Amino acid sequence: MDITVDTASSSEDRPLISAGMLAVGVTLLVALALFTLALSFSSGWIGHALLADRRSESLTSHMTTIGLDRLRIEENAVRFERQRHDGVLSRVDLALLWPEMRGFSEVDRLRFDDIRQSSGLIFLQISQSTMSRDMSGRLEPIYKQLFEGDPEPGPYGLTAHRFRAGSGYDGEILYTATRPGMPDFAIRCLVNGGTKGQDDGPALDACQRDIHVGHDLSVLYRFSRQKLADWRRIDDAVAAFVNSRLVGDPQ
């Protein structure tokens, strides 16, 4: 008697995934879920550990020479470890709490590390001047040539000036204010929704201004637009902070 085996039917009846393969898959999924859960719980600790390597709470001051100027700056105010030493630097980057104007400490760790509290920080970049004019000095000869439309009333006693497209300042707005006996205040801010990035500090809602201090220093500082109401106090505090750390008579 001929016995014919219907191989096609046998193949179709066979499950696509065997019981063994299914067991392995379930095991892998459970392991992945447990790993994800563990990572979620530990992510805060990991971030804390990574940031801990970059911060210093030492109040030791280092004598820093930048161009014609010498400054004595506390180590806990300096952002990058490579800049925490005595000697010549092309620039030094600082991170300070606002309004205290002090550097990092363990007590204030969350104010430095928690991005939700980053609006309470001011970032300074101190370098030798490469331009003869600071931002206020560039208002008339440079910025005013790039404005489009009439000035508009801005927040906190400021006047808003919009840059024309293609000026190189797309996505930014410049605010000014008159100051008796002093050059007009000028500061650039990203407009709402701006996404210009910075390599060395937060910038999604940043305002930025630079001033001249000492013999030949340019101090560029940035802070959150959320603190724009404090523009007068911040400008005075930044100048006072740097001037108080100059060694020798500033000009």
User: pLDDT tens-digit profile of 176-225?
Assistant: 999 999 999 999 999 975 545 444 444 568 999 999 999 999 999 999 99
pTM greater than 0.95:
no
Report the distance separating Cα 39 and Cα 49, nearest Å: 14
Tell me whether residue 248 is in a domain.
no
**Does residue 53 carry a pLDDT above 70?**
no
Residue 65 confidence (pLDDT): 98
Are residues 148 and 218 part of one domain?
Answer: yes
* DSSP letter assigned to residue 51: H
Asked if residue 192 and residue 123 are part of one domain, the reply reads yes
19 and 92 both lie in a single domain: no
Would you say residue 36 lies in a domain?
Answer: yes
Task: Answer whether residue 47 is part of any domain.
Answer: yes
Is-contact 81 229, C-beta < 8 A?
Answer: no
125-92-174 Cα angle (round to 5): 5
pLDDT above 60: residue 169: yes
Is residue 1, in this structure, part of any structural domain at all?
no
Both 68 and 129 in one domain: the answer is yes
Do 200 and 117 share a domain, yes or no? yes
Q: What does residue 227 show for φ and ψ, rounded to 5 degrees?
A: -105, 15
Q: Are residues 233 and 132 in the same domain?
A: yes
Residue 115, CA atoms < 13 Å, CB-side half-sphere: 7
Under a CB-based contact definition with an 8 Å cutoff, are residues 232 and 243 in contact?
Answer: no
Same domain, 120 and 35: no
Question: What domain range includes position 25?
Answer: 7-52
40/137 same-domain check: no
Tell whether 250 is covered by a domain: no
User: Do 163 and 224 belong together in one domain?
Assistant: yes
pLDDT digits (tens, 9 = 90+) for 180-190: 999 999 999 99
Asked whether 189 and 161 are in contact (CB, 8 A), the reply is no
Q: Are residues 136 and 228 part of one domain?
A: yes
Q: Answer yes or no: do 31 and 106 share one domain.
A: no
pLDDT for the residue 205: 85
pLDDT of 20 over the 90 cut: no
Question: Is residue 249 assigned to a domain?
Answer: no
- How many Å apart are CA 229 and CA 60, to the nearest integer? 33
Is 192 within the bounds of a domain?
A: yes
Domain count of the fold of the chain: 2
Looking at the structure, tell me whether residues 32 and 78 fall in a common domain. Answer: no
Asked if residue 28 belongs to a domain, the reply is yes
